[in-house]
Amino acid sequence: MRMFSSALMAPFLLAVTACKVPPPKPPLVQTLAILLFDSEANNVDAPAIMQKLVYEALQGTAYQLADFDMVNKKLNDNGIVDGGQLAAADPVKIGKDMGVQGLVYGNVASFGYANIGFYSQRKVELELKVVDVGTGQTLWENTGSGVTRQVALNKADAQRNLAAGLADQLVDKAMKNPLAEESRLATLQTLRTLPGFSFHGWKQTNSGKAQTAIKSFINK
């Protein structure tokens, strides 16, 4: 739960409160490699965070995934260390090197905070596409976002809004887990139309307890 607790503040507006995933359709291909992500965001960690979340979200689905670390190592060995370089690389060659039938390309269109007193926003926007290794053609693409917004109704609430937003950013930085809720929501919203996708849960972490402890310390 966020620290915006004033009764006078407008309620949170979440992009979606519960992500409903439709029954899975037959997968586009059998095997996938999730490549390094490109990014338009200022946060340098955003591409790696979102790439890992997409990998986790696709675990247990109809797709067989190439090992995450192996994919990144093979790309690095071939001089590709940033998702932006993939636009100039041949997807057919990459797919054959990875031993898969399809490649997942990602772009982090937005990953950040806006905190202007009366209005604050936490937003992650993700673009994904699947490319067929055999033809180099795009089989599927979609964009999704995870957004949390807060609007204050008066000056006092705006001040609390600003302080709470800054505290949240400090917690995110301390936990090295920025925009965790919004990132997961953006991932699911983007993958929801992918044929063969069914969500089986996130990897369990202890971040919840740690976040509570840090927030309690900040509030003292």
10 domain residue, yes or no: no
The predicted-structure confidence for 166-184, as pLDDT tens digits, reads as follows: 555 555 555 557 899 999 9
Instruction: Note whether residue 18 is domain-resident.
Output: no
Residue type, 185: L
Cα–Cα dist 32/58, whole Å: 10
Query: Is there a domain that residue 12 lies in?
Result: no
Identify whether 14 is part of a domain: no
CB 111 within 8 A of CB 51: no
pLDDT at 206: 45
What pLDDT, on the 0 to 100 scale, is given for residue 124? 97
What residues does 33 pair with on adjacent strands?
103
Residue 139 in domain: yes
Enclosing domain of residue 185: 27-219
Identify the CA nearest to 139 among candidates 169, 95, 98. 95
The pLDDT tens digits for 34-77 are 999 999 999 999 999 999 999 999 999 999 999 999 999 999 99
- Is the residue at 92 inside a domain? yes
> In the structure encoding, which two tokens stand for residue 220, read together?
């003292």
Q: Give the count of domains, the chain.
A: 1
Average pLDDT over residues 177-196: 94
Say which DSSP state 36 is in: P
Read off the pLDDT band of 7 (50, 70, 90).
Answer: very low
Q: Which helix (H) or strand (E) holds 33?
A: strand 31-34
Rounded mean pLDDT, 3-20: 44
CATH code of 129's domain? 3.40.50.10610
CA gyration radius, the chain: 19
- Classify residue 15: in a domain, yes or no: no
User: Tens digits of per-residue pLDDT, 115-163?
Assistant: 776 667 889 999 999 999 999 999 999 999 999 876 655 555 555 665 5
Give the contacts of 7 (CB within 8 A, at least 6 positions apart).
none
Residue 167 lies in a domain: yes
